[in-house]
Amino acid sequence: MSLTVLDHPLAKHYLTVLRDKGTMPEEFRSAARRLCYFLTLEATRDLPVNERPVETPLEATTGFETSKVVAIAVLRAGLGLLDAVIDLIPYVKVGFAGVQRNEETAEPIEYYFKPPDLERATVLVLEPMLATGGSLSWAIGKAKASGASRITALCVVAAPKGVARIEREHPDVRIVVAALDRDLNDHFYIRPGLGDMGDRLFGTT
């Protein structure tokens, strides 16, 4: 497993907006989308491309087009990252992974998984909060069982415990994250974190 932590002034700015408890849902959604542009660009840095001929107004030259990409949004919070991925990646296909956390054990409870064809695709799993790693590990496992072999996880903040779990259970998966935070509290929330991302995205706090 490889871990990449973003180091860009604008990414730090948008992350700070997300951390601020005074940020309202509309601004929170906007900041999440803008931050995800940076996550997506980093996650696709080594995306395979195919050459194709193209005619400019002056002459023929060689152009490039991206290979197959599938984004899998882990519900609900992953929806906050999806628009940026769709904006940036041509012809991206989208799947959804429905999972909720058992509040006592922090383990995932599956209720929905619907991916497009994952064979020969670069798969981006959108899971903003990497806390214990249970939900992300489950989503990665489901993607692999459906044919995915090239997977990168996009996260906003991560805790060391979650990173260690992914490294242990899915050492072939890359993680791109805006911040590696300190630890988890007794309720398995990331500290300093940004609270419950799903609630803050949709105003359900």
Active site residues: 101, 105, 196, 199
Two structure tokens written together for 99: 């999972």
DSSP state of 176: E
Residue 128: CB atoms within 10 Å: 29
Total residue count of the chain as it appears in this document: 205
State how far the alpha carbon of 31 is from the alpha carbons of 1, 69, 89, 162, in Å: 28, 24, 19, 24
Distance CA 178, CA 37 (A): 11
Distance CA 88, CA 93 (A): 12
State how far the alpha carbon of 169 is from the alpha carbons of 42, 166, 173, in Å: 23, 5, 9
Two structure tokens written together for 32: 């999440």
Contact call for residues 5 and 180 (beta carbons, < 8 A):
yes
Two structure tokens written together for 138: 């489950």
